[in-house]
């Protein structure tokens, strides 16, 4: 089979290696999850925020007061007073504070999960970019090798008088273009691999995958949407914000109820006469918590509206991505079918050398072949990039 058809067939047969590719990408993502510095820092911050969420639910600190009084010349005795007391909110306040603390801790966990998911999605997109650039490199290497061969051939023909300067110039331009594209590809591939290393905390990491992840094909949209929205940590975080806001309303109401002070009191004098007893006080919140319930209700309404707005936006975004993926899936299949049937470059070279094609026609056909295959690579990459977004809830 000719070189170009072997190249096309090779790309299509790479699907047999996709199980290994998926495994390789999964291994890269697990390594990044372990080594990424910003993810480690976010984990520490999440732990601190969860601890902070638990700090406001306990009793107020008890207070101890000591009063010492001395007599005068006419009354030389002295006396003292010891008071130990504890402030207490209305009982329902502690229940609401405890539930609120747990809700905040859960929501913080969802926010951390969303951060992790986005970072791993970026890492997976980088892996997809590297695979794309490697596929492109194979195409560009073939183009460069063909250009070098044709330039060497036409240089000899020009020197022997079998080719003119115009033909040699056109082939030389093709060689320069192929060299430039190859250099750009090499630079982009190096940058993508460096980005992957940075995501891995600066540690060396190797992606062995030569093809895109296996098993990632479009499923029924309703099924995909339900699975995505059920697992999306951002949506869970917003749901948590709504629950927090509703609990804040209940807490605000409980804070409008009376507070109490209970304690022990002892009075004693130098004549050894002492009295012991208890004290009870009540604080009626007539002024301090004014409008706090209204404020909490307004925040709860905002949280509910924000949740619904984000849910609708997510559905719309998923629908758009799914439609793009469907279109790209069709285009990818069409390109693969046509490219498999196309004439190869070796036949073009033979036709040119035999005088059956002019140099202009040769380059027109050559550009069509390379442009078509580059378009196929672009479509394939974009398709898998969108699939990665649609299935990010699995990360």
Closest CA to 108 of 225, 275, 255, 237: 237
Place of tokens 């082939």: 171
Residue 321's alpha-carbon distances to 205, 311, 316, 378, 385, in angstroms, are 31, 15, 9, 16, 10
Q: What is the pLDDT of residue 271?
A: 67
Q: What is the pLDDT of residue 77?
A: 67
Question: Do the beta carbons of residue 252 and residue 244 sit within 8 Å?
Answer: no
Question: Do the beta carbons of residue 185 and residue 140 sit within 8 Å?
Answer: yes
Instruction: Render the burial of 330-354: b for 16+ CB within 10 Å, e for the rest.
Output: ebbeebeeebeebebbebbbeebee
Question: Is 169 a residue whose pLDDT tops 50?
Answer: yes
Question: Do the beta carbons of residue 310 and residue 236 sit within 8 Å?
Answer: no
Question: Is 333 a residue whose pLDDT tops 50?
Answer: yes
C-alpha torsion sign, points 26, 31, 32, 38: positive
Q: What is the pLDDT of residue 75?
A: 66
Q: Mean per-residue pLDDT for 124-152? A: 94
Q: Give pLDDT tens digits for 82-132.
A: 899 988 888 899 999 999 999 999 999 999 999 999 999 999 999 999 999
Question: Do the beta carbons of residue 33 and residue 116 sit within 8 Å?
Answer: yes
d(CA 395, CA 385): 14
Q: Give pLDDT tens digits for 308-327.
A: 999 999 999 999 999 999 99
d(CA 239, CA 70): 62
Q: What is the pLDDT of residue 73?
A: 65
> Would you state the CATH architecture of domain 3-58+102-256+309-394?
Up-down Bundle (1.20)
Q: Give pLDDT tens digits for 255-306.
A: 888 888 899 988 887 766 788 888 888 888 877 778 889 999 999 999 999 9
Q: Give pLDDT tens digits for 174-225.
A: 999 999 999 999 999 999 999 999 999 999 999 988 888 877 788 999 999 9
Question: Do the beta carbons of residue 233 and residue 241 sit within 8 Å?
Answer: no
d(CA 143, CA 243): 60
**How many Cβ atoms sit within 10 Å of the Cβ of residue 197?**
16
Q: How confident is the model at residue 20 (pLDDT cuts 50, 70, 90)?
A: very low
Question: Is 362 a residue whose pLDDT tops 90?
Answer: no
Domain ranges of the chain: 3-58+102-256+309-394
Listed in sequence order, the residues at least 6 apart from 334 whose beta carbon sits closer than 8 Å to its beta carbon are none
SS3 content of the chain, % helix, strand, coil (to 5): 70, 10, 20
Termini Cα distance of the chain: 41
Q: What is the pLDDT of residue 76?
A: 64
C-alpha torsion sign, points 20, 25, 26, 30: positive
Q: What is the pLDDT of residue 134?
A: 96
**How many Cβ atoms sit within 10 Å of the Cβ of residue 303?**
20
d(CA 338, CA 47): 55
Question: Is 16 a residue whose pLDDT tops 80?
Answer: no
Q: What is the pLDDT of residue 131?
A: 96
Percent of the chain residues past pLDDT 70, beyond the cut: 91
Question: Do the beta carbons of residue 93 and residue 134 sit within 8 Å?
Answer: no
- The pairing of strands 63-70 and 259-269 is unpaired
Q: What is the mean pLDDT of the chain?
A: 87
Q: What is the pLDDT of residue 29?
A: 95
Question: Is 2 a residue whose pLDDT tops 60?
Answer: no
Q: What is the pLDDT of residue 366?
A: 84
Closest CA to 211 of 364, 346, 14: 14
CA atoms within 13 A on the CB side of 183: 6
Question: Is 1 a residue whose pLDDT tops 50?
Answer: no
d(CA 109, CA 48): 11
d(CA 193, CA 199): 10
Q: Mean per-residue pLDDT for 8-20? A: 45
Percent of the chain residues past pLDDT 90, beyond the cut: 54
Helix orientation angle between 37-53 and 91-160, rounded to the nearest 10 degrees: 170
């Amino acid at each position: 089979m000719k070189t170009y058809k072997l190249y096309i067939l090779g790309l299509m047969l790479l699907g047999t290696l996709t199980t290994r590719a998926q495994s390789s990408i999964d291994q890269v993502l697990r390594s990044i999850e372990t080594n990424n510095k910003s993810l480690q820092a976010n984990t520490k911050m999440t732990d601190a925020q969860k601890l902070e969420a638990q700090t406001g639910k306990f009793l107020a600190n008890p207070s101890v007061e000591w009063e010492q009084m001395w007599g005068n010349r006419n009354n030389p005795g002295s006396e003292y007073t010891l008071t130990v007391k504890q402030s207490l909110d209305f009982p329902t306040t502690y229940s609401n504070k405890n539930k609120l603390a747990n809700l905040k801790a859960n929501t913080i966990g969802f926010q951390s999960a969303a951060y992790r998911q986005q970072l791993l999605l970026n890492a997976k997109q980088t892996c997809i970019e590297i695979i794309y650039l490697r596929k492109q490199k194979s195409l560009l290497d073939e183009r460069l090798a063909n250009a070098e061969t044709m330039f060497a051939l036409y240089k000899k023909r020009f020197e022997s008088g079998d080719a003119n300067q115009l033909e040699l110039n056109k082939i030389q331009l093709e060689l320069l273009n192929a060299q430039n594209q190859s250099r750009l590809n090499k630079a982009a591939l190096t940058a993508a691999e460096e980005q992957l290393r940075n995501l891995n905390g600066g540690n060396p990491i190797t992606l062995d995958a030569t093809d895109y992840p296996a098993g990632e094909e479009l499923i029924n949209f309703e099924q995909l949407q339900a699975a995505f929205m059920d697992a999306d940590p951002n949506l869970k975080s917003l749901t948590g914000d709504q629950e927090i806001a509703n609990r804040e309303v209940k807490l605000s109401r409980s804070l409008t109820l009376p507070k109490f002070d209970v304690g022990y009191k002892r009075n004693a004098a130098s004549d050894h006469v002492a009295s012991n007893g208890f004290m009870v006080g009540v604080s009626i919140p007539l002024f301090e918590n004014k409008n706090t319930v209204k404020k909490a209700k307004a925040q709860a309404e905002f949280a509910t509206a924000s949740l619904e707005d984000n849910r609708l936006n997510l559905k719309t975004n998923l629908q758009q991505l799914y439609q793009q993926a469907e279109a790209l899936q069709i285009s990818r299949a069409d390109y693969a079918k046509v490219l498999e049937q196309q004439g190869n470059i070796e036949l073009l070279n033979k036709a040119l050398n035999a005088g059956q094609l002019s140099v202009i026609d040769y380059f027109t056909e050559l550009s069509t072949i390379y442009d078509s295959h580059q378009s196929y690579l672009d479509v394939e990459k974009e398709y898998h990039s969108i699939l990665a977004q649609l299935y990010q809830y699995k990360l």
